[in-house]
Amino acid sequence: MTPKNQPNGPLILTLGIFVLCLIIGYQLSLRRPLWNDEIFSQFTVVDTQSYQDILFFKIKNREGNPCPLFYLIQKAVSDLWQYKFPLDWHYEWAIDEAGSQVIMRLSSNIFMSLSIALLFYFFTHYYSLVAGIYSLLVTLSSFMVWAYWAEARPYALWFFLTTSQLLLFLILLRSKNKETALWKGLMVTHWLLSFTLILSAIQITIISAVLYLYQKEKDWKKYFWLAGVPLGICSFYYFNSMFYGYSLVRPFQLILRNVSWQGLVLFLMYCGFLIGESKKAKSFEGKHFGIVLVLMLVAALAFLFVMSLKQGGPEFASLSERYLIYLTPVSVIAIVLFSLDLVKIYRRSSWMWTNIVITLVGLLLLRFLGAYMEVQGI
Amino acid sequence: MQKSRLSAKTSKPLVTAGLLLLFAYLIVQDFQKIQGKPRYPSASHFVLDQSKVASKAKTLTLNRLLPKSFDYLLSFSQKKEPLNISKFEEYFLYYQKVVEYLPGRADAQGMLGFCGYYLGKTRQAQSALEKAIAINPQFSGFYYNLGVIYFKQGRYAQAVEALKKAAMLPPKAALSYVLSSREIYAPFFIHEKDKVGFLKEQLRETSRQTYILLIQSYLHIKNFPQALVAAKDAIGLDFDEPATFYYDAGLALYGQGNYQGSLPFLKQSVELDTGLADGYYYLGQALKAQGEENLAAQMLRRGKKEHQLHPRPKPEDEIELRIF
């Protein structure tokens, strides 16, 4: 068999994982009744507003986030299935309606499954099968993945676009040539992000700035299309949005739900090794991504600080961890990259290697247990 | 040298064993937590689906108790429908269940207070409104309703305290709160084409009525200087039907014996509302005190005539509790 005819193993595995994730997402959709926020969006925006209304700010008094992409997708899915919310909704708190649960959450299920599969493919293709499997386990041990996998709200889409953005960024950093296709891909992702959520302005700014620092490409016109235009779109929707009051309850918990304490421990450990083994600094491939991670965490803290100044809303409308969901793919990638670095650097010292593997396995198990307890509300 | 090599040899496995033990301990701890299942008091977003209203049964109960329509309650609050006790009982039962399952919901506590008051459960209504304020002290509507209850009970000093807070809170916070309450307040405005416009109008009317009652409460406890300040504030806020605030400002000055000062306000009140019998009456009295007997007699006659021809209740007598 010539290499050309050989089946692409990672791709086949990725497809298998994608299908498996779709099945899991389908089961999750069936298990959870639709809750008020999901029904509200379907009932007041998707079913009743036209594509133009959604695109041109007519939903700003209905939804806190007036960015249209998610609602346009939901409307397209609804049109495709000729679906309209079948019940006369009287503001029930939650509704058990199997068909609606599956259709309304279809796009979220696809986006979350795609994200998981993409992460697996990236690490299998660029590192090894073990790295791919490890990335899969780290992703599945994230509380936020399980919480927003089957929810008819824009968070799974945001998760997917952030994952795509970060992976394209990593590939661009690895590539020594100025690859136009990758650059265009990242630009499209930034545009889509800006049409998904105003808050995506944070990650667009950070990724573009870090890219400018580490990439050979310094043409300002390219950065204008990469960051300037999407930030303009975000501002446009920001000025056409309705600000709801929020209260801030346990702000660090919001970050921890996305990053996990196990992730934080690993990040600190990595920093420690990076400082302690400064001679080997060149071998720490994940350090560029470390800068992204630090900037994203600082931005999240700054966001929480600004919200604490503005807070004044009711307790039930407390700021949710979902507004920081972009931190989950950031932390998953950081955990995997940092772990791979540590394992690689100490491969010749069997004692250190053993300790690092024990620590990584232990942290992963604890992360799974932590996510399970969070999902169960324990 | 040999000693240090030996200690390195023994300490390395010890470190590894220590790491293993530490993780084993942490994992066992987590398993114990899962088996014991103590729960966090609140998980920030799973209002329904996970921890706050834990079981499906509770959700189904709320769905079952949910009134078919909230139109009546809105019409009643807008004085378009008379009091219907059986309908109010249905709403009361629903909100009672909501606060039982979700005691942290200030909006539901507020609505429980609203319905309870009209069912004659004044003490329960008061307690629900106090709970609502304790949970969300930024929403003027709760203070307003509590103030109305105190006023109707003749507890004017307490009414002043509640209404003062209602008047001080920013309308933007109230608008934001009502808009964010998708389960409790949304049914009252969801079908409005211009939701924000509708809510702003409703909240402005609440604010106007807050000032009417606040001034009246001050007048009842004979705190004329503060009544004057509140009346001037209300004039500055440019509410609809401003004659009542000019009248109140005049009355506050009249109460302080400042007859001359009261004249421009009282004149303005009868110019803005030519049927304001009490305005003419106090204008007449103030003129009389100033020695303008003829004009005073004329105004007193006009006041008497208006009173006989177009009797009307005082604005404060028409004020009721409001939804938001």
pTM of the model: 0.69
pLDDT mean over A38-59: 87
Instruction: Identify the bridge partners of residue A94 per DSSP, sorted by sequence position.
Output: A35
Query: How far apart are alpha carbons B103 and B100 in whole angstroms?
Result: 6
The token duo for B129 is: 């409104």
Residue whose token pair is 């249209």 = A68
Mean pLDDT lowest for which of A130-139, A194-203, A247-256, B264-273? Answer: A247-256
* Nearest-angstrom CA–CA distance, B111 and B153: 20
Q: Phi-psi category of B208—alpha, beta or left, where left has phi over 0 and alpha has psi -120 to 50?
A: alpha
User: Which residues of chain B lie closer than 8 angstroms to A365, CB-CB?
Assistant: 23, 27
Determine how many CB atoms are found less than 10 A away from the CB of residue B205: 14
For residues A68 and A55, the answer to whether their CB atoms sit within 8 Å is yes
- In angstroms, the CA B146 to CA B322 distance is 10
B126-179 pLDDT, tens digit each: 999 999 999 889 899 999 999 999 999 999 999 999 999 999 998 888 888 888
The per-residue pLDDT for A218 is 81
- Asked if A324 contacts A303 with a C-beta cutoff of 8 angstroms, the reply is yes
In this complex, is the C-beta atom of B78 within 8 Å of any C-beta atom belonging to chain A?
no
Nearest-Cα residue of chain A relative to residue B22: A362
Q: Calculate helix-pair angle for B106-118, B140-152, nearest 10 degrees.
A: 20
Tokens of A197: 């959520």
Distance from CA of B27 to the nearest CA of A (A): 6
Structure tokens at B270: 């009868």
* Structure ipTM over 0.95, yes or no: no
- Residue contact B27–A316, C-beta within 8 A: no
Whether the predicted pLDDT of A314 surpasses 50: no
What is the structure's pLDDT at A178?
66
pLDDT at A133 over 60: yes
At residue A251, the pLDDT reads 83
Q: What is the pLDDT of residue B48?
A: 39
Q: Which residue has the higher pLDDT, A137 or A314?
A: A137
- What is the distance in angstroms between the Cα of A87 and the nearest Cα belonging to chain B? 13
pLDDT at residue number A102: 94
B31 to chain A nearest CA, in Å?
8
Contact A312 B12 (CB under 8 A): no
A1 pLDDT more than 60: no
Beta pairing, strands A94-95 & A34-35:
antiparallel
CA atoms A242, A243, A249, A254: torsion sign:
positive
- 3-class secondary structure, A95: strand
DSSP string covering A158-224:
HHHHHHHHHHHHHHHHH-SS--HHHHHHHHHHHHHHHTT-GGGHHHHHHHHHHHHHHSS---HHHHI
**Sites in chain B below the pLDDT cut of 70:** 1-9, 36-60
pLDDT of residue A300: 95
Closest to B180 (Cβ–Cβ): which among A244, A249, A365? A244
* The pLDDT of residue B265: 95
Q: How wide is the angle at C-alpha A117 spanned by C-alphas A113 and A119, nearest 5°?
A: 120
pLDDT at residue A64, rounded to an integer = 73
Q: Is B192 on the interface with A (CB under 8 A)?
A: no
DSSP three-state, residue B43: coil
Query: Residue A194: which H helix or E strand, with range?
Result: helix A180-194
Res A216 pLDDT > 90: no
User: Nearest CA to CA, how far is A209 from chain B (Å)?
Assistant: 33
The three-state DSSP-derived secondary structure of B184-219 is CCHHHHCCCCCHHHHHHHHHHHHHHHHHHHHHHHHH
3-state secondary structure of A247: strand
Dist. CA A139–CA A121, nearest whole Å: 13
